Amino acid sequence: MSLELVQDYANYWAYIVLMMIGMFAMISKNNLIKKLIGMVIFQSAIILFYVSTGVKEGANIPILSHDEVHPAHHGDDHAGDSHDAPHDKPHHADAAALDPARFSNPIPHVLMLTAIVVGVSTLGVALAIVQRVYTDYGSIEEDEILEQIRPGAHD
């Protein structure tokens, strides 16, 4: 197990361990809330995994500085409010090109923003369902609920 192997892939090992902890909780725990916590742990591992694919060595955050958004060759009309009144078309030829390797990949961040929000919504609905199960069956332990639904039956 060389050091480079650990250095390159240790993050994936951490996420897989988290994922397996979450999966074990979802399958084997009896308490419904603990199952939900397992689901949240699983989602967090997935989100971490995706965000880690956007990392580039030595890269900065995906936010440009003011000079990079308005390249220097028309630096005299920044006091104006409409930046593109005389020049609307992209200036590819005369502005210095941005090196994509200097910025982290923005796409995984965007996808995971959506995933986090959807995860929170799912968790909210799941908690509401658990509350409703509690008021209807009087318990949030899976085996007690199954006893009430199917008396004396096995899993």
Partner 1 sequence: MTSNPMKLVALAAVAVTGILLLSATPDFPAWGDPQSPASTSAMSKHYITESRFETQVPNLVTSVLADYRGFDTMFETVVILVAGLAIIGILRRPFQPGPRKVDGKKEPDLIQVVTCRLVVPVLQLFALYVIAHGHHSPGGGFQGGVMLGASFILMTLTGGLPATLARLPEQRALFLAGLGVLIFAGTGLLCMMLGGNFLDYEVLHRIMPGTGPVMARSHSMLIVEIGVAFTVCTIMFSIYAILSSRGEMRGGL
Q: Is 60 in the site for partner 1 (CB under 8 A)?
A: no
- Helix axis angle, 106-137 relative to 142-149, nearest 10°? 50
Backbone dihedral angles phi then psi of residue 16, each to the nearest 5 degrees: -65, -40
63 in Cβ contact with 106 (< 8 Å): no
Q: Is 2 in the site for partner 1 (CB under 8 A)?
A: no
What CA dihedral angle connects 145, 150, 151 and 155, to 10 degrees? -80
Instruction: Kindly tell me which residue out of 33, 83, 136, 150 binds partner 1, with binding defined by CB under 8 A.
Output: 83
Instruction: Kindly tell me which residue out of 1, 65, 93, 94 binds partner 1, with binding defined by CB under 8 A.
Output: 65
Q: Return the residues of window 124-143 that contact partner 1 according to CB under 8 A.
A: 124-125, 127-129, 131-132, 135, 143
How long is the chain? 155
Quote the Cα angle for 39-41-42, to 5°: 65
Q: In the complex, which residues of this chain contact partner 1 (CB under 8 A)?
A: 5, 7-13, 16-17, 19-20, 23-24, 27-28, 30, 52-57, 59, 61-66, 68-69, 81-85, 88, 90-92, 95, 97-98, 100-101, 103, 105-110, 113-114, 117-118, 121-122, 124-125, 127-129, 131-132, 135, 143, 154-155
